[in-house]
């Protein structure tokens, strides 16, 4: 009988024993997963029932806190590093945050919450509720670079529903261009932790050449990023020394040019592009080397996911979706039919579905509605072009 799927991060690490050979690293700090588990278990006590915003400086610190507080705190809100301070008050309100763990307290003065500065350990806090009262909610920001961010509420079960268990003999060494405080990066973090594998984190101060050299030195076998991340990597001289076994794309439309470019650069790698969003969760993965996805997925998608196209927009229904927007009952996340409207426009041609662009990104050109992503895809097919950007003028 297969082992029961873990309900918390620390339980996942305990199931994945032994952990001495696997590690978490960002090039400046490094812990074996056994050390990570040990340090998490000793970091803090008395955090039950807290609604915590994690606003620390590095991904490495965020990872330690997640292992420590998942299954203990009531809510965990991950604050990405690019979030504007003007949105802090609304995030605290919508997520009902009562405690902020941070590296620098100054930006959070005046928010009327407990502010805890992370040092080597989290101090003990006063109990608010029973640790067994509820499972931890994971809160992910869906936007924030423009406009007020929305906060999608996930469970650990929903976040890990698309992750299949691996036998102990298969412990991948993962890396990702993403930050784990965003949905795409968090998925890779969870994949590594549930498999008892290693994870090499990115650093914002690191140029692509140095990053790829570090991944090569760490023995990274599985790598994830957006098509834009991968285009930058292919333009780097260090791409020739990097030899991943698995290449994964998500977060943007993967056009045929980038898929062909990756296959030429990494001929021995398994290359796939996944569709996922913060609200809809992981939808599906395509591994046939072609852009878009088979139209047969609309009748029977892998993994028990239900796909449909309504008014040209892709809708998804699965156990991987977020449940609601925190603190925003005025916003609809799940429709009456149980689906999430992704806002991604899909066109079906010759038995295959192709992403045209975002519903809100259409440009009106002389009365014609144009998706800039489609124009980019055509430009990118030219052999002399690695990357293009199309926008309205």
Tokens matching residue 33:
């997963």
CA-based radius of gyration for the chain: 21
pLDDT of residue 134: 57
Name every residue whose Cβ is closer than 8 Å to that of residue 321 and which is 6 or more positions away in sequence.
158, 279, 280, 281, 333, 334, 340
pLDDT at 12: 86
Residues 6+ apart with CB under 8 A from 392: 363, 372
Q: What share of the chain is helix, strand, coil (3-state, %, to 5)?
A: 30, 25, 45
Residue at token pair 């609200």: 279
Alpha helices in the chain (DSSP H): 9-15, 33-43, 59-69, 88-94, 156-159, 183-195, 208-217, 227-234, 256-265, 372-380
CA dihedral 215, 220, 224, 230 (to 10 degrees): 50
Q: CB-based contacts of 207: which residues, under 8 Å, 6+ apart?
A: none
Count H helices and E strands in the chain, helices first.
Answer: 10, 22
CA distance 354 to 110: 48
Tokens of 134: 């509820």
pLDDT in the model for residue 18: 81
Please identify which residue in the block is written with the tokens 């890779």.
188
Cβ distance 245 to 222 under 8 Å? yes
Q: Considering only CA atoms, which of 218, 224, 220, 217 is closest in space to residue 177?
A: 224
Q: Report d(CA 54, CA 34) in Å as an integer.
A: 22
| Strand partners of residue 181 | none
For the sheet with 293-294, list strands across it.
293-294, 352-358, 340-349, 313-317, 306-310
In this structure, is the dihedral angle defined by the CA atoms of residues 331, 184, 63 and 71, taken in order, positive or negative? positive
Nearest CA-CA partner of 391 in 367, 368, 373: 373
First to last CA, the chain: 60
CB 138 within 8 A of CB 65: no
Measured distance CA(158)–CA(99) in Å, rounded: 24
Q: Give yes or no for a contact between 24 and 63, defined as CB atoms under 8 angstroms apart.
A: yes
pLDDT of residue 143: 63
Q: Which helix (H) or strand (E) holds 314?
A: strand 313-317
Q: Among 350, 214, 221, which Cα is nearest to 291's?
A: 350
pLDDT < 70: residue spans in the chain: 1-3, 41-45, 120-134, 143-146, 167-169, 360-371, 374
- Angle at 193 (CA atoms; ends 188, 125), nearest 5 degrees: 105
User: Whole-angstrom Cα distance, residue 307 to residue 339?
Assistant: 9
Query: What's residue 367's pLDDT?
Result: 58
| Nearest Cα residue to 266 out of 289, 233, 244 | 244
pTM of full prediction above 0.95:
no
Closest CA to 115 of 138, 97, 132: 97
């Amino acid at each position: 009988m297969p082992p029961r799927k873990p309900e918390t991060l620390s339980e996942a690490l305990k199931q994945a024993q032994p952990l001495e050979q696997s590690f978490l690293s960002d090039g400046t700090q490094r812990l074996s997963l056994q050390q990570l588990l040990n340090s998490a278990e000793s970091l803090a006590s008395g955090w039950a029932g807290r609604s915590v915003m994690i606003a620390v400086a590095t991904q490495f610190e965020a990872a330690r806190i997640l292992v420590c507080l998942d299954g203990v705190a009531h809510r965990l809100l991950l604050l990405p590093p690019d979030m504007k301070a003007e949105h802090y008050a609304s995030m605290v309100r919508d997520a009902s945050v009562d405690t902020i763990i941070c590296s620098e307290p100054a930006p959070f003065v005046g928010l009327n919450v407990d502010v805890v500065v992370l040092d080597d350990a989290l101090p003990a806090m006063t109990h608010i509720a029973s640790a067994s009262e509820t499972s931890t909610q994971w809160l992910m920001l869906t936007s924030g670079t423009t406009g007020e961010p929305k906060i999608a509420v996930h469970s650990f079960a929903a976040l890990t529903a698309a992750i299949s268990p691996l036998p102990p003999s298969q412990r991948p060494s993962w890396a990702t261009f993403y930050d784990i405080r965003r949905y795409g990066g968090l998925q890779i973090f969870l994949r590594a932790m549930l498999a008892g594998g290693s994870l090499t984190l990115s650093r914002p101060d690191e140029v692509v050449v140095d990053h790829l050299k570090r991944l090569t030195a760490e023995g990274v076998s599985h790598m994830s990023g957006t098509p834009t991340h991968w285009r930058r990597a292919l333009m780097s001289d260090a791409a020739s020394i990097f030899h991943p076994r698995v290449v994964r794309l998500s977060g943007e439309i993967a056009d045929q040019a980038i898929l062909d470019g990756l296959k030429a650069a990494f001929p021995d790698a398994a290359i796939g592009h996944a569709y996922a969003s913060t609200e809809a969760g992981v939808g599906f993965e395509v591994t046939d080397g072609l852009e878009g996805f088979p139209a047969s997925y609309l009748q029977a998608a892998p993994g028990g996911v239900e796909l449909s196209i309504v008014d040209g927009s892709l809708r998804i229904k699965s156990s991987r979706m977020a449940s609601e927007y925190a603190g925003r009952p005025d916003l609809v996340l799940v429709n009456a039919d149980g689906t999430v409207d992704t806002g991604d426009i899909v066109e079906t041609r010759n038995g295959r579905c192709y992403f045209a662009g975002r519903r809100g990104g259409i440009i009106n050109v002389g009365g014609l509605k144009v998706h800039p992503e489609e124009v980019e895809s055509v430009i990118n097919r030219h052999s002399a072009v690695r990357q293009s950007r199309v926008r309205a003028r």
